[in-house]
Amino acid sequence: MKYNFDKIIDRTNTSSVKYDLRQAIFGKRDVIPMWVADMDFETPGFIRDAVTERAGHPVYGYTFRDLSYYQPIIAWMRSHHDWKIHKDHIVFCPGVVPSLNLMVLAFTKPGDKIIIQAPVYRPFYGAVSDHNRTLVHNQLVEKGTTYHIDFDLLEDQAKDAKMLILCNPHNPVGRCWSLAELEEIARICLKHGVLVLSDEIHADLVMPGFRHQVFANLSPEVAEITATAHAPSKTFNLAGLSTSSMIITNPQLRAAFSQTVEKMHLGMGNLFGSVASTAAYSEGEPWRLQLIDYLNENLNFTEDFINSNIPGLKMFRPEATYMIWLDFRKFRMDDETLKNKLIFEAGLGFNPGTEFGPGGSGFMRMNIACPRLTLTDALIQLQKMLAEISVD
């Protein structure tokens, strides 16, 4: 079956964060919203059918997850990531961000050092500082149109750090870390006894030519020090259903994490999230493959458009995720001016790079998971705005 990703869907008045909070976030009701990480495509029909069928039952009482929930996750990890896991390794969480916070609470104490690799997804900062842990910035190094890890710095920082929160693949710089890079991270963390919390929510959104490596699956030793966060939410556009997994093969780590989840009574979760997850992992592959094609075409289109029409704007083409990291520094605007011009002159709602911490100034993150027509309008509006500004 051919799915239609060109279809324009009116998402207004659905309590959509991306659409219905535009006035609150940008101060302008009608910006093209290309910020928060959900997609403007339909959640696939086979998922909606499964949810609708369950919704047809007249009682929405407490539910639990049986093997029919876990089995598709286990099969997906095996077929997509060559990772053999068991039901017992999977701890349900109502979202990846909550699970990152719970991991920090379970395994570190106030004051402990936790490494993150900026510029990075903003909730990583909160997961550390909101619990009075100490942030350690292993800032990524920009090189041409890509980013690298400063391994010397990481080795030095790892000596007295408790945990590394790895974004694998990385949001917002779009890196799908190579085997060699992940092996070097693993070597350093094993040597210095650093726990790795690997956020792999974008693992199934890898572009052609790249391959996702589950960090924990590098070796049994690496698995011992790793907890992996995974979810169907980004891939299948289910973020509103708050359903994710923390996968931990080390029984001691898993027990400590599960206890933290249980103490907070967060293990019950959402009935419809479980139904959607099962449908996604059981039936989702043809849809996912077409999604990747469409996103990759959107990336080609954006790259060609920028190269041909917007001199001075640098695009970091993502190897995974549907986020583009855009470098506006050649236009020599401060962050506030850039943000306001994008909103009020171009009518575009991007995430300011400064949200992602050190290394984000002068950048914007653009979400291209939308129909090509919307993307075309956005790029034309961007071109018009930048045409009036001289380039350095």
Ligand X SMILES: Cc1ncc(COP(=O)(O)O)c(C=O)c1O
Q: Give the 3-state secondary structure of residue 117.
A: coil
Nearer to ligand X, 108 or 171 (CB): 171
We find the least distance from the C-beta atom of residue 359 to ligand X, in angstroms, to be: 16
What does the per-residue mask of binding to ligand X show for 315-344, with x meaning CB under 6 A?
------------------------------
What does the per-residue mask of binding to ligand X show for 27-66, with x meaning CB under 6 A?
----------x-----------------------------
Q: Is the separation of the CB atoms in 225 and 243 below 8 Å?
A: no
Nearer to ligand X, 305 or 356 (CB): 356
The gap between the terminal CA atoms of the chain, to the nearest Å, is: 48
239 binds ligand X (CB under 6 A): yes
Q: Point out which span in 66-74, 90-98, 215-223, 340-348 binds ligand X (CB under 6 A).
A: 90-98
Q: How many other C-beta atoms can be found within 10 angstroms of the C-beta atom of residue 20? A: 15
User: Element (H or E) spanning 314, and its range?
Assistant: strand 314-316
We find the least distance from the C-beta atom of residue 139 to ligand X, in angstroms, to be: 17
Q: Give the 3-state secondary structure of residue 247.
A: strand
Closest CA to 156 of 173, 139, 172, 170: 139
Q: What are phi and psi of 127, to 5 degrees?
A: -60, -25
Q: Give the 3-state secondary structure of residue 19.
A: helix
Residue among 47, 77, 90, 96 that touches ligand X (CB under 6 A): 96
95 binds ligand X (CB under 6 A): yes
Q: Is the separation of the CB atoms in 205 and 212 below 8 Å?
A: no
Separation between Cα atoms, residue 334 and residue 362, nearest integer Å: 7
269 binds ligand X (CB under 6 A): no
Closest CA to 146 of 118, 166, 174: 174
241 binds ligand X (CB under 6 A): no
We find the least distance from the C-beta atom of residue 121 to ligand X, in angstroms, to be: 4
What does the per-residue mask of binding to ligand X show for 188-207, with x meaning CB under 6 A?
-----------x-x------
What does the per-residue mask of binding to ligand X show for 151-190, with x meaning CB under 6 A?
----------------x---x-------------------
By CB under 6 A, the residues from 244 to 263 that bind ligand X are 244
Q: Point out which span in 14-22, 91-99, 215-223, 362-370 binds ligand X (CB under 6 A).
A: 91-99
We find the least distance from the C-beta atom of residue 184 to ligand X, in angstroms, to be: 21
CA angle 304, 363, 299 (to 5 degrees): 25
Closest CA to 269 of 216, 228, 227, 231: 231
Closest CA to 170 of 233, 209, 215, 131: 215
We find the least distance from the C-beta atom of residue 208 to ligand X, in angstroms, to be: 21
Separation between Cα atoms, residue 129 and residue 219, nearest integer Å: 31
Q: Would you tell me which residues interact with ligand X (CB under 6 A)?
A: 37, 95-97, 121, 167, 171, 199, 201, 231, 233, 239, 244
